[in-house]
A and B are shown apart, each in its own frame.
Chain A
């Protein structure tokens, strides 16, 4: 069976659903026996969900809007 270190080295693909059948079986065999790694997988999944779905990284319109509009103004001054 995989050690915890070996599990942690490979669990990224497992979290993304990208692990092949053989690797997945090895990882799940380890998970079935290891409470600590179960917690790591569970909590890391929750972390990804928090980071991905929290909408915390939405930029305010008043900050984002000027980036391209200002560049367009500079382009027009030079080119149009």
Chain B
């Protein structure tokens, strides 16, 4: 099972779980907080001045997003851990070149994504399919599946193991370019412009990919269609497409 949605992990109690949980929301907040940016600027100056041990404090809040960015492309836990480590090391080696013209978070996520793409290229160099579709146009409409209603989803369902499985399956079923945008925007809470900067695509492309990612997640999670987490209901189509 994917690390992303490991049931045993989410049910942990104690220090380990608290530590893991704190990485979730706080890291997203720190990505956006101006005060953290000021603290980071000071940290970076001190690291560049030779206080190398502070690098841990600088990077620690972004471990989760660094890892998830790599995982969104690689879909493999071990590879994502390796790439995340390489990305962190690369950030350290190149910190002197970081001019603070962009956010540190954006910069290090870019490194992680680039490292993941390089690994994909290396691993797939004998294959014929191109994996770098970041500049591909967004032609063609995505037609969402049509259901009569979704009011049947109970809030308690969010805790169900089946839903976690469905989320894993749905996320992994997304094409890479949609999965990456969804993770950066809806899970890591980067802004549209930050997501565009990290991925090197236009904001319009981010918006298009995000809409399609959300619709495809919706279709994959739709109860009674592909979601095994609610059974026994039939859904009536309201349009014939």
- Residues 46 to 85 of chain B near chain A (Cβ within 8 Å): 52-53, 55-56, 59-60, 63-64, 66-68, 77, 81, 84-85
From B55, B56, B67, B218, A59 is in contact (CB under 8 Å) with B67
Q: Which residues of B contact A76 (CB under 8 A)?
A: 52
CA distance A50 to B218 in the complex (A): 10
Contact call B215/A44, Cβ cutoff below 8 A:
yes
A39-B141 contact given A58-B23, A60-B3, A68-B60, CB 8 Å threshold: no
Q: Which of A42, A52, A55, A57 has the most CB of B within 10 A?
A: A57
A1 within 8 A of B: no
B238 within 8 A of A: yes
From B16, B68, B222, A61 is in contact (CB under 8 Å) with B16
Q: Which residues of A contact B10 (CB under 8 A)?
A: 55-56, 58
- Residues 137 to 167 of chain B near chain A (Cβ within 8 Å): 141-142, 144, 146-151, 153, 158, 163-164, 167
Contact call B64/A59, Cβ cutoff below 8 A:
yes
B214 within 8 A of A: yes
B230 within 8 A of A: no
CA distance A75 to B20 in the complex (A): 24
Known contacts A44-B144, A50-B167, A60-B12; 16 further A-B pairs (Cβ under 8 A): A12-B211, A42-B149, A46-B218, A51-B187, A51-B217, A52-B189, A54-B158, A57-B187, A58-B20, A59-B4, A59-B23, A60-B20, A61-B17, A64-B67, A68-B63, A76-B52
* B interface with A by C-beta (< 8 Å): 3-6, 9-10, 12, 15-17, 19-21, 23-24, 52-53, 55-56, 59-60, 63-64, 66-68, 77, 81, 84-85, 88-89, 92, 141-142, 144, 146-151, 153, 158, 163-164, 167, 182, 186-187, 189, 192, 207-208, 210-211, 214-215, 217-218, 221-222, 238-239
30 pairs, CB–CB < 8 Å, chain A vs chain B: A8-B141, A9-B141, A12-B208, A39-B148, A40-B144, A40-B218, A46-B153, A48-B186, A51-B186, A51-B217, A52-B189, A54-B164, A55-B24, A56-B164, A57-B187, A58-B10, A59-B3, A59-B4, A59-B64, A59-B68, A60-B3, A61-B19, A62-B16, A63-B77, A64-B64, A66-B81, A67-B84, A68-B59, A70-B85, A72-B56
* A interface with B by C-beta (< 8 Å): 4-5, 8-9, 11-13, 15, 18, 35-36, 39-40, 42-44, 46-48, 50-72, 74-76, 79-80
